[in-house]
Amino acid sequence: MKKYLAILVSLILLCAAVACGGNNGANANVEDDGIDWEHMSQEELYEMAKEEGGVVKIYATTTDAETARKKIARDFPDVNFEFVSCDTNTIKSLLERDYDAGKVNADVVLVKDASGEIYNGLVAYDILKIYYPAAICEHIDPELLTYGMPLYSTFNPWFYSTRDFPDGPPIESWWDIVKGYNVDTKSYKDADGNDTQYWNVYTKDIKGASYAALWAQLIIDSDALFEQYKKQYGEDLVITYTDKLQNNTFKSFPENNAGVELFWRFTQMQSFEQADGDAVANAVDLSVNGPTIGLCSASKLDNRDSSGMQIGWVTGLSPYTAQNAASYVYVASNCDNPAGARLYINYIMGGDDGQSGCYQTFDKLGHWSVRDDVVYEKSGVEASEVGLKAPDMKQIYSYFVSVQSYWDLWSSWRK
């Protein structure tokens, strides 16, 4: 009954706005439930959330969402909020299970989606809804709004030893990573069997969604990689992987693709998979066997301050450093507290002015604000200097499983 009262309240508010001529064509933004959520203020959402009377459940992959829950509970005390900690795979399976059972438990979902699994598997099937508060979206690059409401930007960078390279990152493009590849032998050994690989490479699991998605994005941007190679070496890239393709139902790569060539060369490097990002950061810091680079999440730069490691991010790579691995926040379709869910999202995004909420809660090392009127300062470098690429979730989704499969196959062929 309370849910229907909340909808009635919202319709009254909407009619009043239209009657006053202050809604600027809001009818074009009315959702299937008849409510113009995008133009409602926090106060209007609060009144509706109180009428709903339920517990707003927040499924999130970051504990910062719990910090935000405590803050919103102080500012809007008549609505109950509950934080549920989940990883991305757990969130996806829970939502799919609830959807199949016809019972929705979550109200808000805060999750990363580097691989496009959330967008293509949940949003596209209306299991999750995207809430675009109009006043907030005016301050966000439209390109970042394609696949959901982005909360903040982050990335998975290459790390290097600042002890060994005090003048800055020792690589300038993705082709520098595969330095030493022998086109004739299609490996990192020359005709006499001598090792030619330059870098010691440490990574987390390349088959993990975030890392496979990064390689998928590079495959999508083949033209840019072709151009970068020609610019860097003054000659055309030689494609050497064509006879290594074993395309089938479960994996499929295109021919004559610079991103696939880069990935092939990377699979043939001797690399060392680590259990977590801290181990990757430690290996880069030690660099015991010569020049070393490592791939893991940006937050592991924290080890520089907490453990005294001499490590740094590689930034400014050409054609771009990494995929913009934004965290997104959604409303669960048919949830019990649609107004409470949107109140929470509006609040954590900072409200209309960036200050009416707790957007600064998410200002951490390796995070960047997606709002043009709010600056995150804890990373110490602007996102424009890092060089992040807005992802193409639809194409990434079509490639990242092939990246995972070909990683297993091709890395097993290292010489």
Token pair of 202 as six digits:
């440490």
Predicted confidence at residue 29, as pLDDT, reads 52
Predicted confidence at residue 12, as pLDDT, reads 43
Predicted confidence at residue 415, as pLDDT, reads 87
CA angle 211, 217, 219 (to 5 degrees): 110
Alpha-carbon distance of 210 to 169, in angstroms, equals 22
Predicted confidence at residue 31, as pLDDT, reads 66
Residues 6+ apart with CB under 8 A from 127: 95, 96, 99, 121, 332, 333
Long-range own/partner contacts, residues 32-37 (CB < 8 A, 24 or more apart)? 33/7, 33/338, 34/7, 35/7, 35/10, 35/11, 35/338, 37/131, 37/133, 37/338, 37/342
Predicted confidence at residue 281, as pLDDT, reads 98
Q: Is the pTM of this model over 0.85?
A: yes
Cβ 336 vs Cβ 52: under 8 Å = yes
Cβ 385 vs Cβ 368: under 8 Å = no
Handedness of CA 19, 20, 25, 27 (dihedral sign): negative
Helix (H, G, I), strand (E, B) or coil at 77: coil
Cβ 181 vs Cβ 268: under 8 Å = yes
Per-residue pLDDT of the chain (415 residues; tens, 9 = 90+): 444 444 444 444 444 333 333 333 333 456 677 899 999 999 999 999 999 999 999 999 999 999 999 999 999 999 999 999 998 889 999 999 999 999 999 999 999 999 999 999 999 999 999 999 999 999 999 999 999 999 999 999 999 999 999 999 999 999 999 999 999 999 999 999 999 999 999 999 999 999 999 999 999 999 999 999 999 999 999 999 999 999 999 999 999 999 999 999 999 999 999 999 999 999 999 999 999 999 999 999 999 999 999 999 999 999 999 999 999 999 999 999 999 999 999 999 999 999 999 999 999 999 999 999 999 999 999 999 999 999 999 999 999 999 999 999 999 999 8
Strand partners, 4: none
Alpha-carbon distance of 5 to 187, in angstroms, equals 68
